[in-house]
Structure 1
């Protein structure tokens, strides 16, 4: 039995939770997949799956073996890629994740520039406002806003973002510019629940104001559009209003009371062993984000 091939078959069955689906993915017959897994179980001396007529689930031993298989198969793929030269030339598909609006505004242009620079490359993006498990969801690179936990991933700091309060020049001319955080109580507020769910807005030097928003919006874009239209003030991350600031459509207020900015990092799990596609993209993304004056 080809041990490496059997491990690949086992891993695909574990991923798909189906012998038939694994067979289709690997262009094999279902009986051949079943025999390979059975031979592997005999060799190991443990059951790897619990099989019923409706499901295929890993046993406790299977879960442990699956983790080891993924690591071993990844090491083999890495060795083959290095020998084949993909560590010298970007090839394959690159998967990038970031928060939804940041990804759309700042990361996507870098992705398209990367694809234009390396025509043989493909890419997929996951721009979403939820925690993404980089390894489990198959991401090569992540752009993260906020302070990082110690994950063991390579991390490159490329900028900062601030929580800011903003309004249109017309609104501020009509209703006045708040001088201290407490002045917000006399202003009309459109709050974005996706960006700042708490009614308590915090500022530097432990200033805190409990906000009673006239309107709560479930997206940042909606709250920003109201502020641009002169309807009221809102609080967002400053990168989200970059174009409006440059166009003079919005102004930031209470900047002297802002909390310390949050860092932006580019993460990737491979570290120094990253293939060329990751290294090339990270280098390009770091240069572009560091060069963006709205993020620094």
Structure 2
């Protein structure tokens, strides 16, 4: 069952083989044995990728819960519910993980020598259940789900540029002024063709010319500081650069409403002690860090 989930997660037998460090022939043989045992074909294999059949999709949906119960049973047998021990698997946005979550983990681990943390940094939303993660840091409004969420703060979507660029090209006063400016777009936050702003209580899209489009916030930040153009990022991503004068906020009065930040985790019937200890430690401290950062950022902008 775990092997099948790994193939589904990675998209192919060869990728699963690499992740698990076992021969691809072994992966193929075990899956064939599973299909023979069930009397149903679970996977359709092509030269490019492996996909689930209809029967496979139903089977995978069922075994996720079974494997979770099995994992809880193993944890209980190992004392995971009576003492903090074992691994915590989590995900967070890249810059948030580097600036806030990493330092908190560094404080937490010495206090719990039997606990390990596996932190996956990504600006994409990684599903907790599909990837068997314990918790995530989410930015933005959350869809309805069975997950439990604790709000720890908020972040702004800010437009900024280097003083060097603004001295050379001029200060945009209204969003439409961006039509004559060079822009750097972080494609996880805005589209290359248009950025959204708040005017008169409603949002509107403003055409922009993206001279550079990047898939990482750090790349947009570096390009903007180098004077390549105006960029749009989240307040915590540009906080250091704004405070030291490397970037200047523009079009502040046209900002979109702030996004909430949540710590999200699965609603388990019985939470492992390691996860409970981590949440008890991280949640109030992350809330305090984000509050202090917002206050410091606002003071610097003013």
Match of 1:294 in 2: 293
TM-score by length of 2: 0.73
Does residue 209 (structure 1) correspond to residue 216 (structure 2)? The answer is no
Pick the aligned partner of 2:148 from 124, 147, 154. Answer: 154
Greater shift after overlay, 115-124 or 66-75? 66-75
Name the structure with the higher strand share: 2
Equivalent residues of 1:93, 1:122 under 8 A apart: yes
Match of 1:141 in 2: 135
Decide whether aligned partners of structure 1 residues 197 and 61 sit closer, same or farther in structure 2, where only a CA change above 3 A counts: closer
Question: Of the two, which has the highest radius of gyration?
Answer: 1
Equivalent residues of 1:187, 1:232 under 8 A apart: yes
Greater shift after overlay, 271-280 or 63-72? 63-72
Match of 2:255 in 1: 258
State the secondary structure of the residue aligned to 1:106: helix
Per-residue deviation, 1:97: 0.8
Per-residue deviation, 1:94: 0.7
Greater shift after overlay, 225-234 or 237-246? 225-234
TM-score by length of 1: 0.74
State the secondary structure of the residue aligned to 1:182: helix
CA–CA distance in 2 between the matches of 1:169 and 1:272?
53
Decide whether aligned partners of structure 1 residues 222 and 15 sit closer, same or farther in structure 2, where only a CA change above 3 A counts: closer
Decide whether aligned partners of structure 1 residues 258 and 79 sit closer, same or farther in structure 2, where only a CA change above 3 A counts: same
CA–CA distance in 1 between the matches of 2:222 and 2:247?
10
Match of 1:285 in 2: 282
| Structure 2 unaligned residues grouped into runs of 5+ | 8-12, 23-29, 44-50, 296-302
Match of 2:231 in 1: 234
Match of 1:182 in 2: 176
Deviations 1:203-260 (A, max 9, x none): 1133432001333344332221122123432111222112112222212111111011
Equivalent residues of 1:181, 1:207 under 8 A apart: no
Instruction: List aligned pairs for 1:73-84, cutoff 5 A.
Output: 73-75=67-69, 77-78=71-72, 81-82=75-76
Match of 1:30 in 2: none
Per-residue deviation, 1:110: 2.1
Does residue 125 (structure 1) correspond to residue 108 (structure 2)? The answer is no
Decide whether aligned partners of structure 1 residues 50 and 227 sit closer, same or farther in structure 2, where only a CA change above 3 A counts: closer
CA–CA distance in 2 between the matches of 1:69 and 1:268?
20
| Structure 1 unaligned residues grouped into runs of 5+ | 1-10, 26-32, 52-56
CA–CA distance in 2 between the matches of 1:215 and 1:133?
29
State the secondary structure of the residue aligned to 1:209: strand
Decide whether aligned partners of structure 1 residues 219 and 76 sit closer, same or farther in structure 2, where only a CA change above 3 A counts: closer
State the secondary structure of the residue aligned to 2:159: strand
Number of aligned residue pairs: 269
Pairwise CA RMSD:
3.7
Equivalent residues of 2:181, 2:230 under 8 A apart: yes
Greater shift after overlay, 91-100 or 209-218? 209-218
